[in-house]
Amino acid sequence: MEIKIPTPEKMQKYPWGVTVVSLFACVVLLLYTVLKKSDCEDCERRYETERTKNDVLTTALLIKNGIILNQEIKAKEKDSTIKEKLNKSTDIVKDK
Residues 12 and 49 in one domain: no
Residue 96 has pLDDT above 80, yes or no: no
pLDDT digits (tens, 9 = 90+) for 43-65: 788 888 888 888 778 777 777 77
CB–CB of 18/11 below 8 Å? yes
Residues 21 and 53 in one domain: no
Domain, as residue range, for 64? 40-96
Give dist(CA 30, CA 21) in Å, integer. Answer: 14
Give dist(CA 86, CA 79) in Å, integer. Answer: 10
Question: Taking the model in full, what pTM does it have?
Answer: 0.35
pLDDT of residue 37: 64
- Number of separate domains in the chain: 2
Residues 45 and 83 in one domain: yes
Residue 94 has pLDDT above 70, yes or no: no
Residues 85 and 53 in one domain: yes
Residues 65 and 24 in one domain: no
Residue 88 has pLDDT above 70, yes or no: yes
Q: What average pLDDT does this structure show over 12-29?
A: 90
